[in-house]
Amino acid sequence: MAKRERHGVNKNLLFVVLLLITFGLAMIASAGIAYSRSRFGDSYYFFKHQLFYGVLPGFFVLYVTQKIDYNFWKKIAFPLFILSIFFLVLVFVPGVGSKIYGASRWLQLGPFSFQPSEMLKLSIIIYLSAWLESRAEKVKDFYEGLIPFLAVVGVVSFLLEKQPDMGTLGVIIFIAMSIFFISGARLSHMFMIAASGFAALAILIKFESYRMDRFLVFLHPELDPRGIGYQINQALLAIGSGGIFGVGLGHSLQKFNYLPEPVGDSIFAIIGEELGMIGVVSLVLLFLSLAMIGFRIAKNAPDRFSQLTAIGITCWITFQAFINISAISGLIPLTGIPLPFISYGGTSLVFLMAGIGVLLNISKQTSLNN
C-alpha cells in the first residue's frame, strides 16, 4: 500500500529558478541598453517591462499554482487545451492577431499582447499527461494509442507551421514524444514518428526559402555574412570575443546595434561576450541542475499523471534552453525561441513560472511504500 507524504516547497528548485530569473534580469538590463535607448528613448525600458510584466506577475502565478493541487489540472486538461487551440486560431484573425516580422504569433488584447504558443506548451503537457494516463496499456496500440496521439500533434503542428513558428513546433513535438515514450509507447512507434518527423522537416526546409537559407548558413557559416549569415556570424563573434572570463558585465560591443535581438533569442551570445566561458558554463549548470531536480520530482511523483506532467515540464524547460544555446552557438540551425527565464518576454516567463508552480505542487507529495 502506498501513502502520500506532504512536504514544504522544494527549496532547491525554487533557488535555481530564482537564480535564473535574477541572472536574466541582469542580462536584459545590460544587453538591452542600446536597443532600449534607440527604440524607446529609455535605456532600461526592456528591464522595467520584464520586471513589471514578466517577473512580478510570474511570481504571483507561481505562488497560486504551487498552492493548487495538481489533480485540479487533470480535471480541466481538455478545456484548457481546447482554449489554447482557440487562441492559436485567433492569431490569424485580422484586428485580433498581430503580424510581426512576417509571423502571426501574437494576440493584441487592448494594451496587452499575448503569445498563445507559450500557453500551448503547458496545456499540451497537462492534456497529454491526463489522456495518456487514462489510456494505460492502450498506449501501445496502433489505433487507440499512436493514431490519436498523432492527430493531436498534427493539429498543433499545422497551426504552428502556419504562423510560422518552427522553433516552438520543435519544442512541442519533443515534449509530446517524451511524454508519449515515458507513458509506455512502443519503440517501433517512436521510430515511426521520428522518421516521419525528419521527412516532414526536410520537405518544409526544401520548399520555404528562409528555412533553406538558415540550413545553408548552418552548413556554411561563412556564407553571405552581411545577409542571411549576419545573425549567426555576429553571435559567434560575440561568444568568441568573450574568451574565458568575458569582457565584463555591461561592456559588450555587439549589443550596440550589431547583433539582432540582443535581449531576445540572441541574449546567450551577449552572455558569452560579457561573462565568457565562466558565465556560459555557470548558466548551463543551472539548467542541468533544474533538469536533475525536475526528473527527481518525476521519479517520486505520487501517480502516473503527476509523473508525466513533471517529466513534460522538465523536458520543456531544459530542451528549449539547449535548443536556444545550440542555435546561437552554431551547433544547429537558427531558431526563433527564447532562452527560458533569461530572454525578454512576459508571456514566456509567466507560463514558465506557472509550470514551475505545478512542479512545486507535485514535489510536495510523494509516494512511500509500506
One-letter amino acid identity for 329? S
The strand pairing partners of 113, in sequence order, are 108
- Share of residues in the chain with pLDDT > 70 (%): 89
Q: Which three cell numbers stand for residue 40?
A: 524607446
Nearest CA among 90, 107, 111 for reference residue 98: 107
Burial of 109 (C-beta count, 10 Å sphere; 0-12/13-18/19+):
exposed
Among positive and negative, which fits the CA dihedral 136, 137, 140, 146?
A: negative
Contacts of 115 (CB under 8 A, 6+ apart): 105, 106, 107, 345, 347, 348
- pLDDT-derived band at 127, boundaries 50, 70, 90: very high
> In the predicted model, is pLDDT for residue 69 greater than 90?
yes
Q: What pLDDT is recorded for position 1?
A: 35
Q: What pLDDT is recorded for position 197?
A: 81
Burial of 185 (C-beta count, 10 Å sphere; 0-12/13-18/19+):
buried
Q: What pLDDT is recorded for position 368?
A: 44
pLDDT in tens, 179-228: 999 988 888 888 888 888 888 878 877 776 667 767 777 666 666 666 67
Q: What pLDDT is recorded for position 103?
A: 62
> In the predicted model, is pLDDT for residue 369 greater than 80?
no
Q: What pLDDT is recorded for position 125?
A: 96
Average the pLDDT over 105-129 and give the result: 85
Report the range of poorest mean pLDDT among 60-74, 152-166, 271-285, 311-325: 152-166
Question: What are the domain boundaries of the chain?
Answer: 2-369
Q: Which three cell numbers stand for residue 5?
A: 507524504
Burial of 198 (C-beta count, 10 Å sphere; 0-12/13-18/19+):
exposed
Average the pLDDT over 17-31 and give the result: 94
Rounded mean pLDDT of the chain? 86
Checking DSSP bridges between strand 112-114 and strand 103-109, what pairing results, if any?
antiparallel
CA 334-205-106 angle, to 5 degrees, is 60
Residue 303 · residue 310 · CB < 8 Å: no
> In the predicted model, is pLDDT for residue 259 greater than 50?
yes
- Share of residues in the chain with pLDDT > 90 (%): 45
